[in-house]
Structures are given as C-alpha cells and as structure tokens.
Amino acid sequence: MITTPFIPRTLTLAVLSAALLGGCASFSPDGGFDAVQSATQSRIQKDVVWTRDDASRSQTQARIDALLAKPLSADDAVQIALLNNPGLQAAFNTLGIAEADWVAAQRLPNPGFSIGRLTRGSEVEWERSLHLNLARLLTMPMRADIEQRLFEQTRRELVLAVLRLAAETRKAWVLAVAATQTASYQQQAMEAAEAGAELARRMAQVGNWSKLKQAREQSFYADAALAVARAEQAKGQTRERLVRLMGMANGDKVRLPDRLPDLPASLPPLPDVEQQAMASRIDLQATRLQTEALAKNLGLTRSTRFINVLELGIVNNGSNQEPQQRGYEISFELPLFDWGQTRVVQAESRYRQALERARETAVNARSEVREAYAMQQSQYAIARHLRDEVVPLRQRISEENQLRYNGMLIGVFELLADARSQISSVNAAIESQRDFWLADADLQMALVGTPGKTMMATRTAAAPAESGGGH
C-alpha cells in the first residue's frame, strides 16, 4: 500500500491499526466446533461429531455398528442420532459460514486498481490509481465485533439444535417401545376374544347360546382385531420415525427392548425450576447475543448515516512529455437526497423488534418450564396410581374369578370378560408410563431451550364393555 506525506496522520494511524487487525484474522482449527462438543457433553453426557472426511465417517460408522449390536436403549438411540443424523450434519456447516463471515470482517478490504491511457496529439498519458474502501476500513473493528457475536450466536443455536434432536430422539424411542409393548398386549386381548367367539359359535350350534349373545362375542372379537391392526400400525409408524431421527437408511438392524423402563422410585424436587431455566436456557442466551449485535449494528448505522461510500485513492499519472504526477484522492457520496435516515430507522426498528422478541422468549421460557414441570409431576402420579393401585386390583379380581370358575360358580364367558378387562387396565398403565417418560424428556428440554410440543399418542381403544355372557 502506498502512502504520501499529504495523508492526515490520524488517517494513517487508522489504516495501520486496521492492517494489524486484519493480519491476525485466521480460521480456527476446529471451526468453533469444540464449544458445541463441550456444551453437549456437559449437558447430556453425549458425544457429537462433525464428519468432514472419510476417516471420521469410518470411525463414526464403527461406533454406530457397535451400538446396534445389542437391543437399543434410549441413550444409545440418542447417541446414534447425534452421530448420524444428516440434518444435524448439514446444520454444522452453518458454523463454517458464520466463522467465514467473522474472518472476512477482520480482513482488509481488497483494493481496487484502475489504469487508463489517454492521447492528445503525440502526447500519450497513462493514469494509474489504487483505491481502498476507507469507510469499510475505518469500521472494521465494529464490524468484526458484530460478526463475532453472530458467530457465538450460531454456536449456541447449534447446541440448541443438538439438544433438541436428542430430546426428539428420546421421545421417539419411548413411543416406539411403548407401541411395541401395547401391540403385544393387544394381541393377547384378541386371542382371548377369539377363544370367546369360537366357544360362542360352538355353543350356538348345539342350541345352548342365543344368536344375540353369539353376535356380541363375535363383535368383541372384530373390535379386538381392529385394535391389533391399529396397534401394529402405530408400532410401524413410531419405529420409522425413530429410524429417521437416527439417520439410518433402514431399520433392519434396530432391535428395541420389549418394554419401557420402570418408573423412578421418586422425582427430584425442583423448587427453583424457573430460575434454573432462566440461567441455563440456550435460546435466551442466543437471543441476548442477537440483541447485542443489533445494538452494535445500530451504532454503526448511526455513525455512517451521512457517509456511506468513502474511498481513498493513490494516483500516479505518467506522460511521455510531462513530468510524472503523484498524489491521492478521497471520494465520498454526497448525502443530497438520502441522508441515511432510512437505514437508521430500519436499524432502530430491528433493534426494538429484537428487544420485544427477547422479552417474549423470556416470558415463554418461564411458562414452558412451569408447564413441563407440572406435566411431569402429574404424569408420574397417574402412572404410579395405575401401577400400584389399578393393575394390582385387577389382578386380585382376576384371581378371585379364577377360583370361582374352578368352583363352577361362574362360567367361561365371565372369566374371559374379566381377562379382557385386566388387559385393558395393563394397556392403560403402559400408556401412562409412556406419557411420563415423554413429559420427563420435555422437562429436560425446557430447562435448556424451547421444548418441542409432544403430541400424546392416541390412547389405545379400550376393550368394549364386558359382553353379557353367562349360562
């Protein structure tokens, strides 16, 4: 770069300081991904890998194969999703884009060079000039600070995306295992209904059973077969969603356990759940960084509202008849029609918009964590009540009816109807256990970021009312 004694000293110092700043700009070895890995490990104790070459892909695939070699737990499903989900791998590239913007903001703007040839008679004149965007040069520190904040915001958003994928995969695993468990119990209910329908058909053939009672038993069997078909449908649907989140081409290697994990003995108390959320939620941190970046941008806009284009040029003219001409020129845009007010109003509006959205995010965060905590507590109470009260009571009733059947006090149809009622209560217990684990995953997500809306699966159709069997 060429300087002359005529350039003001303050301008020269600004150019030199910007040059030093630009000389230090470079890309980090990991692209800023280390912070995403650390945050994921500290919050959910899981590894996340950005596969950018064949070697890392081979290592990741070997690890996935090892996890698939056994029945898949919820933690294993989450780990596979964090290693293999293609959407997450695509999102990691936004980190490289954000870092490139940050590095570009720290580097000197490229100069422009122009050359011209003029003739006047026998005189030939050459004009050479070197131009540098002075406005961008002088605002480099402020622009670099803005891009750094946006880069940090991108990292936090990626951490939030990782945690959200982990929560969605955990819930998908819960739904898939619950659907498998429910389908098994529905199959038992259909077998009981089939036995009752066959017995009713035989008794009707010998005249010991009315057509109405036979039709009732046949109707119950038809409803039970429909419930099995719907349960199998839910089983396939939930399994495929889990396979998609895990980023697998097919789910042939996925083996799920036969039942959900047991309820915990107790739930840890969270008296300051709102304060925990406000201190640790990543979406609040990202919103704060975005607002700060917009505030900096507002200051930049106000500083450059009158001078939007400012260029410094070094001039060197040569002629075959005249002495060499040297000098410099400064060009800028005259604010005759646009005084920069539109840009300032836009920046101010974006800043006020960000402030209101930050306030909205904080209000929603408090409400979401309260709702998730209340849902977890209530679902736990419901699941425990069904497990400890309803199902054991149905079991005792079934045992008593078995004794009465052995003593020929009740008939086989009453015994079958009681078996159907017991299976229905067990299905309700499975669904309440499923709903608790879904609510627990929502609470964990609400403490770190915006929770996904869990749509509770439709409760399996209960068995029809006990048929009016009897001898």
Cα distance between residue 101 and residue 150, in whole Å: 9
Given a contact cutoff of 8 angstroms between Cβ atoms, the answer to whether 156 and 60 are in contact is no
pLDDT at 55 over 90: no
- pLDDT score for 6: 38
- pLDDT score for 320: 59
pLDDT at 76 over 90: yes
What residue type is 75 in one-letter code? D
pLDDT tens, residue by residue, 411-422: 666 766 776 677
Name the DSSP letter for residue 251. -
- pLDDT score for 452: 62
pLDDT at 290 over 60: yes
In angstroms, how far apart are the furthest CA atoms of the chain?
Answer: 131
pLDDT tens, residue by residue, 374-392: 898 999 999 999 989 888 8
pLDDT at 16 over 70: no
Q: Report yes or no on 214 lying in a domain.
A: yes
- pLDDT score for 7: 42
Reported as a pLDDT band with limits 50, 70 and 90, residue 471 is very low
Mean pLDDT across the chain:
76
Q: Report yes or no on 73 lying in a domain.
A: yes
pLDDT at 393 over 70: yes
Residues in contact with 109: Cβ distance below 8 Å, sequence separation at least 6, in sequence order: 132, 133, 136, 137
Name the DSSP letter for residue 139. T
- pLDDT score for 415: 67
What residue type is 135 in one-letter code? A
Q: Which of 410 and 101 is assigned the larger pLDDT?
A: 101
Q: Report yes or no on 324 lying in a domain.
A: yes
Inter-axis angle of helices 140-205 and 9-23, to 10 degrees? 40
- pLDDT score for 244: 94
Reported as a pLDDT band with limits 50, 70 and 90, residue 20 is low
Q: What's the rounded mean pLDDT across residues 37-53?
A: 86
Q: Which of 250 and 450 is assigned the larger pLDDT?
A: 250
φ/ψ (deg, to 5) at 397 = -60, -40
Cα distance between residue 375 and residue 383, in whole Å: 12
The domain in which residue 341 lies consists of 9-16+29-446
Q: Which of 7 and 354 is assigned the larger pLDDT?
A: 354
Q: Report yes or no on 294 lying in a domain.
A: yes
Q: Report yes or no on 3 lying in a domain.
A: no
pLDDT at 199 over 60: yes
pLDDT at 446 over 70: yes
Q: What's the rounded mean pLDDT across residues 290-305?
A: 62
Q: Report yes or no on 393 lying in a domain.
A: yes
pLDDT tens, residue by residue, 118-174: 777 777 777 777 776 766 666 677 777 777 778 887 888 888 889 989 999 999 999
| CATH number of the domain where residue 129 is located | 1.20.1600.10
Residues in contact with 424: Cβ distance below 8 Å, sequence separation at least 6, in sequence order: 189, 462, 463
Cα distance between residue 295 and residue 297, in whole Å: 5
What residue type is 256 in one-letter code? L
Indicate the number of domains in the chain: 1
Q: What's the rounded mean pLDDT across residues 34-46?
A: 86
Q: In terms of Cα–Cα distance, which of 18, 12, 173 is closest to 80?
A: 173
- Per cent of the chain over pLDDT 70 is 73
Give kind and range of the element (H or E) at residue 405.
Answer: helix 391-406
Q: What's the rounded mean pLDDT across residues 354-373?
A: 79
- Structure tokens belonging to residue 58: 């081979």
- pLDDT score for 72: 94
- pLDDT score for 171: 94
Q: Report yes or no on 357 lying in a domain.
A: yes
Q: Which of 341 and 23 is assigned the larger pLDDT?
A: 341
Residue 197: beta bridge partners?
none
Q: In terms of Cα–Cα distance, which of 403, 412, 405 is closest to 208?
A: 412
Query: For the whole model, what pTM was predicted?
Result: 0.72
- pLDDT score for 434: 94
- pLDDT score for 317: 59
Q: Report yes or no on 452 lying in a domain.
A: no
- pLDDT score for 185: 83
pLDDT at 103 over 60: yes
